[in-house]
Copies of this chain bind each other. A is one copy, B any other.
Amino acid sequence: MSAIIRYMSESSGKAAPSIRARVRAEMVDEIKRVARERLAEEGAALSLRAVARDMGMVSSALYRYFPSRDDLLTTLILDAYNSMGEASERGDATVRDRRDLFGRFLATGHAIRDWAVERPHEYALVYGSPVPRYKAPTDTIEPSTRPYAVFAMILADGMAAATARGDGGSGDAGAGAADSGDAVAEAAAGPAFADPPLTDRLAGELHQASMGLNVGPSEGMTGAPPPSGDTPMGPPPVLIARTFAVFTQLFGAISFELFGRLNNVISDRREWYDWQLRSMAAYLGLSPLK
């Protein structure tokens, strides 16, 4: 993939894009569009020749645009991740009142499913069985985390709001919060629910992963200034664990639907997904604004 980008920028040069470069870019888009259509027929066994055929070109012509079939596939994967990421971000952004964390969670969750339902084969490409013999380059990792980052941001905003209200909700609202019956801590850590104990190692890795999502509270969430300096503290481990469990559940639900496990079982898939989303929101301690 990076090879293509280099190729393209070389040919377009540093000046304003020439006509040729613009036509070329359109051509690349068209190839990707047709290739995405082919995904429906062939899945990850996408064939260059079939794409060329659909475009009314000879197969060797595609090599002007992509150095190999695998490179085209990588591009599609990268695009899919970014497209899903953007859909998540747009979903979150539709909620006007940024303090409405419950609404944002729901909007983001539905945006991801809507995205997937509209392009099931792209979803399968990135969330289905790994393609045998295909090794995704490492630059697909970061785009793949964009949807998670949106959720992390929503929860970080929740933590920040709780802190601003003096709720606690950071450090001390740890694994014990759910057991303590402390309603105040619950507001940040979720409703009474007995979390299983987390090993230190697991808590550490989850913490590490949540840091990798690179989110602090978004701007303009609270009137209060951000807590001075001590950000490395982060949310309580159990909340991170719940969040990652929710990621699993959310994508599990989409995969169940798109991979056929609801066939002849549930007809209104959106409704069922919505129920699950709301259940996850409750699990995360999010509730509608009063």
Contacts and interface: CB of A to CB of B under 8 A. Distances in A.
How many copies of this chain does the complex contain?
2
Interface string A190-205: 0111111011011001
Interface string A247-265: 1110111011001110011
A195 B276 CA distance: 9
A128 B131 contact: no
A76 to B, nearest CB: 14
B251 A256 contact: yes
Interface string A144-158: 000000000000000
A7 interface: no
Given A124-B130, A127-B259, 4 more contacts: A41-B133, A129-B129, A202-B271, A252-B256
B191 A192 contact: yes
Interface residues of A, number: 58
A266 interface: yes
Given A251-B256, A252-B248, A255-B252, A205 B276 contact: no
Contact of A198 (B44, B201, B275): B275
A224 interface: no
A193 B196 contact: no
A282 interface: yes
Contact of A268 (B43, B201, B247): B201
Contacts of A124: 129-130
A279 interface: yes
Contact of A132 (B41, B247, B255): B41
B202 A272 contact: yes
Residue of A43, A127, A129 most packed against chain B (CB within 10 A): A129
